[in-house]
Amino acid sequence: MRWLNRLWSTLRPRRLDRDLDDELKFHIERRAADLIAQGMRPAEARREAARRFGNVTLEKERARDRSILVWLETLLQDLRYAARTLRRNPGFALTAILSLALGIGANAALFSVTDALLLKRLPVNDSSSLIRVRVYYPEFGDSTVTYSFFDLIRKNAHTITGATAMALGGPTIEEHDGPTPAHVEIVSGEYFDLLGITASRGRVFHNANEPIAVISDSFWRSHYAAGEAIGKSVKFGKTVFTIAGVADEHFRGAQVDWPADIWIPLEQAVPSGARRGPNWFWLEVMARLQPGATLPQTRAELDSLLHQHLEQLAGTRQFDHPQQRAAFFSKRVTVQPAATGISNLREHYIKPLLIVVGIAVIVLVIACVNLANLLLARATAREREIATRKAIGAGRIRLIRQLLTESALLTILGAIAAIFLARWLSAALLAFFPDASNALANLSFRVDPRMLAFMIAICLVTSLLAGLAPAIRVSGPPRSQASSGGRALIAVEIALCTILLIGSGWFVRTLRNLRTLDAGFVRDQVLLAFVGAPPGAKGPQATARFDELRDRVATIPGVRSASYSNYSIMTGGEGQTSDNISAEGHPPTATENLTAIELRISPGFFATLGTPLLAGRDFTDRDGASAPKVAIVNEAFAKHFFGTVNAVGKRFGEDGPKSTLDYEIVGVVKDTKYANLREQSRPIYYRPMHQVPSDGGMVIAIRTSSDPGPIASAVRDAVHQTDPRVTKITRISMLIDASLASERMVAQLSAAFGGLALLVACIGIYGILAYRVARRTREIGVRIALGASRAGVEWMIVRESLALLGIGIAAGIPVALGLSRYITSLLYGLTPADPWTLAGALLLLALVSSFAALLPARRASRIDPMSALRCD
Amino acid sequence: MAKTNADVLQGTLDLLILKTLSRGPEHGYGIAVHIQQVSNEVLRVEEGSLYPALHRIEQEGWIRSEWGLSDNNRRAKFYEITAAGKRQLAAEEKRWEALTAGVASVLRFA
């Protein structure tokens, strides 16, 4: 508190001045009054009083100098002293600053991402009343909505003051001289008014009546160099939009993952027929709660609107059995607060991100504990000096402050280094998420007021944490058992390391389990080329073009086989499903899930992907349009509907019990993962491409016999010789890597941080033992002189570290297991109590820390008894 | 201002201030007058050192101040001893007694 007062008087010198003035004036008047009472004449008395006081202004200044300058001067003194001590021990300073820089830098980098995803509110009016509206589908979770449903909400809901819809436009916009990269956001006419965004120049749109566009301030600056932009035209799709205005400076749209450059009205950008498609779930909807309305009220109202909407849709549909009807009406509205904007990245990655935040916090705490330990060891070494200073009158407060100044100086130096490190760490972090690349404008590291506030807070906490233990230690009476505090800190460090290493063990093993599990297909040497539909070719013609393409690709040297399918595996689950499978001899039960994935493939698909055929045969070219309809199913399908793997010859249909059993099963293949590696195998049935010709794009799978890299460009050339466009060529292994982005991030970062923490802790162990050996030189010398063996002396020192190790581990394991319940959903193929993970972490910890202990132990055993006894 | 031998010994001013305030809150002028009177006019507190000392002691946390009304109803700043100040006073008294006892024995036997 006193410290604050002092700061206060530094900042508010004028108030202090006035106080002093009043006080001194009072003194002089009282003195004068007393002198008058003694018989002096008033004027003379006042002069005498003032004379006795000397120069009032001078006094005032002296008094004030005491309060501010003395404080500043002591601070400078302390700083100089701290700097001098650090310069004298550059190794110590460097270790401390580096470990702090890593700890603080990691936290700053994570803060910048977490802040953007989780904390930062949209720069709009009253963001807290904004909600995000979605529809929950039991099959695939929360989803964006159709235009008709949005239209129903905005016209009929009373618990909201308004709603707006938005969709992502392309990554480019056409200008007169060609395409320009720009994030387009397609928004309904209410958008700007609902959010309360105005134009900094020109105007925004308030409805969707005319084809005008609004650009963001940053796009205006970067693309139009802050010059003339209003009135220029840009083309999106087939419509030309005229730029009418520039939006408020900090506004980049309501979707965090898609920092918008340009907004265009939805009803202008998408023609009426297209936008009303009943199966087109493409709109994010944001609404503003009516004052006084609660989330549950709004949800209930929107739910009843959704029911109305479904009733309308159901009017034209046939339901074969009540379950199907119930499933159709089981959709529900979900609403959630949207003050921080809409972000799917947040939903996907927040859990792994928070885990990494937790890890980074632990690393910082370890760095603090380590610094505390080093400062403590130094303070203990300076015991004699400190005792002397105390004896000649240095206040304890002053000594404590001096130690805190030292830790604060180190922290600030660490924080400066951390800013540079954080920029790099943040880029590395974002590189883990392939889908974050669009959001970089919002997510990448930036030193803004929020970041500075965070850094200052972290510096305060760090320097207090690191400086407090030594300070308390010094302020107490001198103790003979000097480093008991230091040993406790080492045990704390080891406990924290235990938690980190066990944690990273879990994540590394999870990643390994996912990477090595049998997914039912080979991961290497398979290229996937995503090829667009051939223009102008429909149905069988299109299929014929893809056959041609496949044959051409198959002749490329190095290609073992090629085939194609209408959807790709490992892209997160896009594809077609049938939710009403009927199978020969399998009457459905009331609650049964009759869903299966349908995939259309060309012959050779299984051979190309390396999926073993368990029974029957693969498709051939003879399974054509006029041949009997056949299908291949996977194990999961066969077991679910026929109770056996060998379902060859059995029949099934895809349109419920009333349908004919159209397909005869000719083969059964091994289960493969479809959407991602974590899923349980789902029933899949495959149909030959020639029996269900499709017009859309295809995915050509190519098995190569050597490194697929050089073959990719040959494939691209081959595709370009026919008409279709290649949108992407990739490898299965890369798709898998992308699907494992968060697992990789957590595993790699936790391993890296775990290793770092281990290193820092080892430095701590080494430091404290080396210091104790130095202090016990004489005692050890006596022991050796009296016949103690070198091995015995080594053991004596190592034993001490083993005790600390034991305490630290014993404290760390239960905490780690206690924390594990927050992360079990992220683990795969192991439980938190996995003995291999625990044993591995502990073994590593024991090995490395014993090594750190061995060096001082060696030194102890080499002590020459004669010189040891002479020393001191 | 010329220093006189009656100047309070350096370092004992704190002790005198704390002792004075242990009787109860007092303003700066009152402290000066009290010390002068109690010491039979032997110790004269120089105004020039009183106020800086008060501020310094206040920042040490041994006394705290508050604006109040003096006996003749003028606004004045009153100082009051804190718990830390009482401890400090006890320590200083002990030190002072040890010192004077030491000096006394030297004077007796030298």
Sort out which chain B residues have CB atoms less than 8 A from A54's CB and list them: 1, 47-48
At B8 the pLDDT is 47
Q: Do A302 and A371 share a structural domain? A: no
Residue A91 C-beta-side C-alpha neighbours within 13 Å: 3
Q: Do A654 and A786 share a structural domain? A: no
A417 confidence band (pLDDT: 50, 70, 90): very high
Give Cα A381 to chain centroid, integer Å. 43
Of A860, A842, A849, A857, the closest CA to residue A763 belongs to: A849
Sort out which chain B residues have CB atoms less than 8 A from A31's CB and list them: 29
Token pair listed for A175: 């200008």
Token pair listed for A561: 């086989």
Domain ends where: A70, A88, A106?
A: A88
Nearest Cα of chain B lies from the Cα of A86 at a distance, in angstroms, of 29
At A61 the pLDDT is 54
Nearest Cα of chain A lies from the Cα of B56 at a distance, in angstroms, of 7
Q: How far apart are CA A130 and CA A337, in angstroms?
A: 6
Sort out which chain B residues have CB atoms less than 8 A from A22's CB and list them: 75, 77
Note whether residue A104 is domain-resident. Answer: no
Paired strand residues for B44: B7
Q: Do A53 and B48 touch (CB under 8 A)?
A: yes
Nearest Cα of chain B lies from the Cα of A215 at a distance, in angstroms, of 58
A55-98 residue pLDDT tens: 555 555 555 555 666 677 777 888 888 888 778 777 778 878 88
DSSP letter assigned to residue A168: E
Domain holding A34, by residue range, is 2-88
**Among candidates A19, A33, A52 on the partner chain, residue whose Cβ is nearest the Cβ of B47:** A52
Q: Do A456 and A330 share a structural domain? A: no
Q: Into how many domains does chain A fold? A: 4
Q: How far apart are CA A562 and CA A703, in angstroms?
A: 6
Note whether residue A443 is domain-resident. Answer: yes
Nearest Cα of chain A lies from the Cα of B87 at a distance, in angstroms, of 14
DSSP string, A120-134: PPPSSTTGGGEEEEE
Token pair listed for B38: 């109690």
Average pLDDT, integer, range A513-520 = 90
Nearest Cα of chain A lies from the Cα of B42 at a distance, in angstroms, of 17
Q: Do A216 and A79 share a structural domain? A: no
Give Cα A345 to chain centroid, integer Å. 8
Angle at A513 between CA A572 and CA A574, to 5 degrees: 10
Note whether residue A103 is domain-resident. Answer: no
Paired strand residues for A141: A137
Domain ends where: A679, A707, A735?
A: A735
Q: Do A728 and A592 share a structural domain? A: yes
A341-392 residue pLDDT tens: 999 889 888 888 999 999 999 988 988 888 888 777 777 666 666 777 666 6
A202-237 residue pLDDT tens: 999 999 999 999 999 999 999 999 988 999 999 988
Q: Do A31 and B51 touch (CB under 8 A)?
A: no
Highest mean pLDDT among A107-111, A782-786, B71-75: A107-111
Note whether residue A107 is domain-resident. Answer: no
B44, B47, B73, B78, best to mutate vs chain A, most A CBs in 10 Å? B47
Paired strand residues for A663: A652
Instruction: Judge residue A376's burial from the number of C-beta atoms within 10 Å of its C-beta, 0-12 exposed, 13-18 middle, 19 or more buried.
Output: buried
Q: Do A306 and A272 share a structural domain? A: yes
Q: Is the ipTM of this complex over 0.85?
A: no
Integer-rounded Cα Rg, in Å, for chain A is 37
Interface residue A25 vs chain B (CB under 8 A):
no
Is residue A186 scored above 90 in pLDDT?
Answer: yes
At B4 the pLDDT is 37
Of A488, A468, A365, the closest CA to residue A407 belongs to: A468
Q: Which residues contact B69 (CB under 8 A, 6 or more apart)?
A: B75, B76
Sort out which chain B residues have CB atoms less than 8 A from A398's CB and list them: none
Q: Do A672 and A560 share a structural domain? A: yes
E strands, A326-393, are 332-337
Q: How far apart are CA A506 and CA A750, in angstroms?
A: 10
- In this prediction, what percent of chain A has a pLDDT beyond 70? 91
Of A211, A271, A285, the closest CA to residue A242 belongs to: A211
A481 confidence band (pLDDT: 50, 70, 90): very low
Angle at A490 between CA A488 and CA A493, to 5 degrees: 115
Q: Do B61 and A2 touch (CB under 8 A)?
A: yes
Model pTM score? 0.73
A526-539 residue pLDDT tens: 999 888 877 777 78
Which residues 23-82 in chain B show a CB within 8 A of chain A?
A: 27-29, 32-33, 47-48, 51-52, 55-56, 59-61, 70, 72, 74-77
Domain ends where: A28, A58, A88?
A: A88
Of A272, A289, A285, A256, the closest CA to residue A190 belongs to: A285
Whether A583 contacts A642, CB under 8 Å: yes
Task: State whether residue A541 is helix, strand or coil.
Answer: helix
Q: Which residues contact A741 (CB under 8 A, 6 or more apart)?
A: A349, A432, A433, A434, A435
* Ramachandran sector of residue B3 (left: φ over 0; alpha: ψ -120 to 50; beta: rest): beta
**Among candidates B47, B72, B74 on the partner chain, residue whose Cβ is nearest the Cβ of A53:** B47
Sort out which chain A residues have CB atoms less than 8 A from B61's CB and list them: 2
Q: At residue A831, what is the residue type?
A: T
A612-647 residue pLDDT tens: 999 999 999 899 888 999 999 999 999 999 988 889
Sort out which chain B residues have CB atoms less than 8 A from A70's CB and list them: 56
Q: How many CB atoms lie within 10 A of CB A796?
A: 17
Q: How far apart are CA B27 and CA B70, in angstroms?
A: 8
Angle at A270 between CA A269 and CA A274, to 5 degrees: 175
Note whether residue A565 is domain-resident. Answer: yes
Task: State whether residue A505 is helix, strand or coil.
Answer: helix
Q: How far apart are CA A350 and CA A115, in angstroms?
A: 11
Q: Do B56 and A24 touch (CB under 8 A)?
A: no
Q: Do A66 and B77 touch (CB under 8 A)?
A: no
DSSP string, chain B: ----TTBPPTTHHHHHHHHHHTTS-EEHHHHHHHHHHHTTTS-B--HHHHHHHHHHHHHHTSEEEEEEE-TTS-EEEEEEE-HHHHHHHHHHHHHHHHHHHHHHHHHHH-
Domains and CATH numbers, chain B: 12-109 (1.10.10.10)
Angle at A155 between CA A150 and CA A158, to 5 degrees: 105
Q: How far apart are CA A110 and CA A429, in angstroms?
A: 8
Q: Do A500 and A556 share a structural domain? A: no
Token pair listed for A642: 């026929």
Is residue A252 scored above 60 in pLDDT?
Answer: yes
Q: Do A209 and A323 share a structural domain? A: yes
Task: State whether residue A34 is helix, strand or coil.
Answer: helix
Task: Give how far Cα B17 sits from Cα of A182, A367, A604, B21, B81, Å.
Answer: 75, 46, 101, 6, 9
**Among candidates B55, B74, B75 on the partner chain, residue whose Cβ is nearest the Cβ of A63:** B55
Q: Do A497 and A469 share a structural domain? A: yes
Instruction: Judge residue A622's burial from the number of C-beta atoms within 10 Å of its C-beta, 0-12 exposed, 13-18 middle, 19 or more buried.
Output: exposed
Q: How far apart are CA A669 and CA A673, in angstroms?
A: 12
At A111 the pLDDT is 92
Whether A476 contacts A387, CB under 8 Å: no
Q: How far apart are CA B64 and CA B54, in angstroms?
A: 9
Sort out which chain A residues have CB atoms less than 8 A from B75's CB and list them: 22, 26
Whether A349 contacts A749, CB under 8 Å: no
Note whether residue A253 is domain-resident. Answer: yes
Whether A753 contacts A363, CB under 8 Å: yes
Nearest residue on chain B to A9, judged by CA atoms?
Answer: B59
A708-735 residue pLDDT tens: 778 888 888 888 877 667 778 888 888 8
Task: Give how far Cα A280 sits from Cα of A147, A175, A458, Å.
Answer: 8, 29, 47
Q: Do A133 and A202 share a structural domain? A: yes
Q: Do A2 and B59 touch (CB under 8 A)?
A: yes
Angle at A486 between CA A482 and CA A492, to 5 degrees: 155
Note whether residue A579 is domain-resident. Answer: yes
- The 3-state secondary structure of A650-687 reads CEEECCCCCCCCCEEEEEEECCCCCCCCCCCCCCEEEE
Token pair listed for A21: 């003035």
Token pair listed for A322: 């009540």
At A17 the pLDDT is 58
Across A161-165, A280-284, A572-576, least confident range: A572-576
DSSP letter assigned to residue A151: H
Give Cα A872 to chain centroid, integer Å. 56
Instruction: Judge residue A11's burial from the number of C-beta atoms within 10 Å of its C-beta, 0-12 exposed, 13-18 middle, 19 or more buried.
Output: exposed
Q: How far apart are CA A120 and CA A454, in angstroms?
A: 13
Q: At residue A665, what is the residue type?
A: I
Element (H, E) at A461: helix A449-475
Of A746, A677, A822, A741, the closest CA to residue A345 belongs to: A741
Integer-rounded Cα Rg, in Å, for chain B is 15
Sort out which chain B residues have CB atoms less than 8 A from A27's CB and list them: 27-29, 32, 47, 51
Q: Do A271 and A249 share a structural domain? A: yes
Q: Do A29 and B74 touch (CB under 8 A)?
A: yes
Is residue A608 scored above 80 in pLDDT?
Answer: yes
Note whether residue A37 is domain-resident. Answer: yes
Sort out which chain B residues have CB atoms less than 8 A from A66's CB and list them: 52, 55-56, 59
